[in-house]
Amino acid sequence: MKIETILSRLSIQDKIDLYHRLESDLNSEENLGLIKSEPNRDQLIQCPHCKSTSIIGHGIYKGRKRYRCMACLKTFNDLTGTAGAYLKRPDLFHQYTKMIVGNIPVRKAAKTLGVNVKTVSDWRHKISATLEGIENEFIE
């Protein structure tokens, strides 16, 4: 589904709620690049691939704690399966999440952020996938 279609159906309050949801999904702060992963000790860690809770620590990579699932043997971190996974410029991505709620065109956003149009397009697809997941939550 296109982002424009989803955004056109939302009220101003819904757009604000969407922005806050994207922020929480990304563990957003003003500079995501400086955040180090410190999972909440009370939170149950679950494998994003098979949903197993049989998890062990598997080191640290680029400042983020990694885990290994003993059921499916796959590794993951706290951003796996979210729009924030595999980002090279998380600080600019955070700025783009503000722009997308304002319905700023891709080319204008790329020029404003000083990144390639392809990068912004990729970010848009990540956000679109997150929106589809959110939409599916509300439908079910």
Nearest one of 90, 46, 92 to 67, comparing CA atoms: 46
Predicted local distance difference test score (pLDDT) of residue 31: 41
Decide which of 30 and 23 is more confident: 23
At 34-84, the pLDDT tens digits run 444 444 455 678 888 898 989 998 998 878 889 999 999 999 988 887 777
Helix (H, G, I), strand (E, B) or coil at 17: helix
Beta-bridged to residue 57, according to DSSP, are 67
Residue 2 above 70 pLDDT? no
Q: Please report the sign of the dihedral spanned by the C-alpha atoms of residue 34, residue 86, residue 21, residue 121.
A: positive
The widest CA-to-CA distance across the chain, in whole angstroms, is 45
pLDDT single digits (tens) 86-109: 788 888 888 888 888 777 889 999
The predicted model gives 7-23 an average pLDDT of 73
The pTM of this model reads 0.57
Q: Which residues in the chain belong to E strands, given as ranges?
A: 55-61, 64-69, 75-77
Cβ proximity of 111 and 6 under 8 Å: no
The phi, psi pair for 64, rounded to 5°, reads -115, 135
| pLDDT reading at 7 higher than 50 | yes
Say yes or no to pLDDT of 132 above 80: no
| The CA-based dihedral angle spanning residues 40, 43, 49, 53, taken in that order and rounded to the nearest 10 degrees | 130
**Residue 44: in which H helix or E strand, if any?**
none
pLDDT averaged over every residue in the chain: 77
